[in-house]
Amino acid sequence: MDKEKGIPAVQCDQCTAVGIPSLFVCRKCGGRMFKETKLPDVGMVYSHTTIRVAPEAYRDQAPYDIAIVEIKSGLRITARVQSEVAGKVQIGEQVEFKTADENGYWFKQVN
C-alpha cells in the first residue's frame, strides 16, 4: 500500500460507489471497473468488541480491540483499533487510520 495519506479504497467507474480493495463486482450496480481512491483518514466507532480469547495465531496479542469503523462516505470497515488499554474503545469515538496490511486495516484512538 502506498504511504499517501488516507484510507485505500476503490470507486466504481459506473456508479461511483466506494468499497475496500479486492472488490470484483460493485455491490450497488454490478459494475466491474474500479479506480483507486483514498478516503478521509478519520472515522467513528460504529460497534466494537474486545478479543480476550484469540485464535492461536493471535494469542500473544490478546486482549485486543476490533471495531466496525464508519467513514464519512458511509462505508463501514472492520478493523483493529490500537489503544493504550484494550477494552476502552467506545461507540461514537473518533479513530484515525494508521495503516493497512495483510492482516487488515488498523486505526488508533484519537486522544
Q: Which residue has the higher pLDDT, 12 or 83?
A: 12
pLDDT at 74: 86
Least reliable range by pLDDT among 33-37, 72-76, 91-95: 72-76
- The pTM for the full model equals 0.84
Average pLDDT rounded to a whole number, residues 7-25: 90
pLDDT tens for residues 79-90? 999 988 889 999
Structural contact between residues 67 and 47, judged by C-beta atoms closer than 8 angstroms: yes
Check pLDDT > 90 for residue 62: yes
**pLDDT-above-70 percentage for the chain:** 96
Please give the C-alpha separations between residue 27 and each of 12, 21, 23, 67, 81, in angstroms, as whole numbers.
9, 13, 9, 22, 26
Average pLDDT rounded to a whole number, residues 14-35: 90
